[in-house]
Structure 1
Amino acid sequence: MDLSLFLNGAIVFMLGGAIGSFLNVVIYRLPAGLSVLHPPSRCPHCMTPLRKRDNLPIIGWLKLRGKCAHCQAPISSRYPIVEAVTGLLFLASYLAFGLSLQTPSYWLFLSLLLALALIDFDTMTLSNPLMKTGVISGLLFQAAIGFSLHGLTGAIISLASSAIGMVLGILLIDAITVIGSFVFRRPAMGDGDAFLAAMMGAWLGWKYLLLAIFLAALVGAIVGMGGRLFGQMQKFQKMPFGPCLALGAALSVFIGHGLLSSYLALFAVG
């Protein structure tokens, strides 16, 4: 492996870990209506502020052996897992898109998706401030990509695709909600799922949004059937769909082009 690529990858992973540490704060505090900036990170049990050397992503948790240095209460392993996953997402983006506008842009998109997925998993709700940030940044991203490729005309076309994706995301999820509620005689989707789909459409455009929702539905069906099969879920038990949407969107970022190209090639042959 090229040494410079290895060093750059290590730096990117550490940067992702640091962002993941901040995401842990966002995931915990935002649903509770707390400030994500103040006070500094602290033990959730005894409220003692973490020392700087104990607040290092992943390493700090390992060094403390998963316990608070002050009260010895256990600290959830999800903290280093989120940091590691964020680092891997950053690294995957760097390896896939290199030194380009897409790389830092997708860092933001994937970070928002991860935070929203875990908030929904914990609380069965989605954060409007995060989704609003996602919609605005998605529109700006598409405009910037279009401008970098084809100037003002490209920016307008990309922005239009982004806007269409937003509207389509809302319409699709609303349609699924209405049809599902009619068929099953109970609410089929959460209130925030349409807004999340709009955010995904703003970032991905309408083509990759359709793929992302298909993948999300596939993941949701697999999880639901697996939960029923292993006795972990009851019939009609509510489950957060935000994590499925987030995973579908992330997969579309990394393998969406290949999947769509393969499908279109197969369709053309048929």
Structure 2
Amino acid sequence: MTSLIPSLLIFFLGASIGSFLNVVIYRVPAGLSLLYPPSRCPKCQRQLKLYDNVPVLGWLWLRGRCRFCKRPIAVRYPLVEFLMGALFLGAFWHFGWSESTLSAWILLSWLVALTFIDIDTLTLPESLTRSGLVLGLTLPALWAYLTASEMAVSVALTTFISSLFGAVLGLWLFSGISIAGAAFLGQTAMGWGDSKLAAMLGAWLGWAGLLLSTFLACFLGAMIGGSAIALGRLSRRQPMPFGPFLAVGGAIALFWGEHLIAAYLHVFFPLNWG
């Protein structure tokens, strides 16, 4: 019971963040305020009741329909809320009570918002990638400074330089891929928003985590994109958002990056292991 209550509270916290992210996903690309007007039905524009906004449960109580106009409410709203609740809880179980958990919550929130915006609009808003990059450069260094037992300034500076190197590598790597791909294919191969998302991941995860995220994103993109083309769901020239794959790769690297990199080194460079 003692572990169940914190888990339920953390899930509800994540789901509540997911409820806010639904607002971000809808309003940021449209250039609308995140605070005003309050949440309302996108069909009839009536303001929702406070209890209708309870994460996941509110949608179930309403049976997926607006209280006023009775038109359907997209199932994606409770799915995003449930996803964030699960991610928050997973990060807590994985990292425990630590600054790493808070960092994971912040990064995952940005990744989920960017994922669904990219799916909807094929864009990655600079306001989100830039703010995520700034947080990725500053928060790890701040945590390092606050938790270092000695030489805190030196540890924080080293952490900042590592984050900065990861960010620059991500920006250069994806910018190079974009330029080379456009020259080879004769069309835009990758948006500049992907480069900025890669820079954000490099700042949070470091250069090794960035490279792992990139590899996983390319693998997932090739598998899913190839399957979609084979099934006739996607044409070869039809644009496909890459941000979601990069976000999934970043989430995997966040949770299991060290183990995956260690396994890779053990298989391909066995002489380096005792």
Q: Percent identity?
A: 46
Q: Identify the match of residue 30 of structure 2 among 29, 32, 36.
A: 32
Q: Which residue, 122, 125, 134 being the options, matches 1:124?
A: 122
Partner SS, residue 30 of structure 2: coil
**Superposition pairs for residues 9-88 of structure 1, below 5 Å?**
9-88=7-86
CA distance in 2, matches of 1:6, 1:218: 37
CA-CA distance at 1:59 after TM superposition: 0.2
Partner of 1:144: 142
- Tell me the distance in 1 between the aligned counterparts of 2:204 and 2:168: 12
Matched to 2:15, the amino acid is G
Shift, 1:183, TM fit: 1.8
Q: Which amino acid aligns with 2:112?
A: L
Contact 2:56–2:78 (8 Å) recurs in 1: yes
Partner of 1:201: 202
Cα pair distance change 1:236/1:131, threshold 3 Å: same
Distance 1:261 1:190 in 2: 31
Q: Distance in 2 between matches of 1:180 and 1:236?
A: 13
Alpha-carbon distance between aligned partners in 1 of 2:224 and 2:143, rounded to the nearest angstrom: 35
Retained in 1: the 8 A contact 2:117–2:123? yes
String of CA shifts for 1:123-173, please: whole Å, max 9, x gaps: 011111111210111112220243224622211111111000110001110
C-alpha distance in 1, partners of 2:43/2:179? 43
Q: 1:1-270 counterparts in 2 under 5 A?
A: 3-147=1-145, 148-149=147-148, 151-269=152-270
Q: Distance in 2 between matches of 1:30 and 1:268?
A: 46
Instruction: Quote the Cα distance in structure 2 between the aligned partners of 1:269 and 1:104.
Output: 35
Q: Count the aligned residue pairs.
A: 268
Give the counterpart letter for 2:57 in structure 1.
I
Residues 201, 250 of structure 2: 8 Å contact kept: yes
Q: Return the alpha-carbon distance in structure 1 between the equivalents of residues 226 and 166 of structure 2.
A: 29
Task: Supply the distance in 1 between the matched residues of 2:233 and 2:158 (Cα, whole angstroms).
Answer: 46
Structure 2: distance between partners of 1:39 and 1:248: 35
Contact 1:145 1:158 in 2 (8 A): no
CA root-mean-square deviation: 1.1
CA distance in 2, matches of 1:98, 1:156: 25
Unaligned runs of 5+ in 1: none
CA contact (8 A) 1:209 1:249 kept: yes
> What is the rounded CA distance, in whole Å, between the counterparts of 2:3 and 2:253 in structure 1?
25
Letter aligned with residue 43 of structure 2: H
Show structure 2 runs of 5+ residues with no match: none
Q: Cα distance, 1:187 vs. partner?
A: 1.0
Q: Return the offset for 1:252.
A: 0.5
Q: Distance in 2 between matches of 1:213 and 1:222?
A: 14
- Distance (Å, rounded) in 2 between the aligned partners of 1:129 and 1:190: 15
Work out whether residues 17 and 84 of structure 1, in 8 Å CA contact, stay in contact via their aligned partners in 2: yes
Distance 1:258 1:145 in 2: 23
Q: Is the 8 A contact 1:146 1:157 kept in 2?
A: no
Q: TM-score, normalised by structure 1?
A: 0.97
- Residue by residue over 1:165-190, the C-alpha shift from the partner in whole angstroms, topping out at 9 and shown as x without a partner, is 11000111011112211221211001
TM-score by length of 2: 0.95
CA contact (8 A) 2:178 2:192 kept: no
Q: Which amino acid aligns with 2:40?
A: R
Aligned counterparts of 2:134 and 2:164: Cα–Cα separation in 1? 11
Q: 1:238 Cα shift?
A: 0.4
- Aligned partner of 1:28: which letter? Y
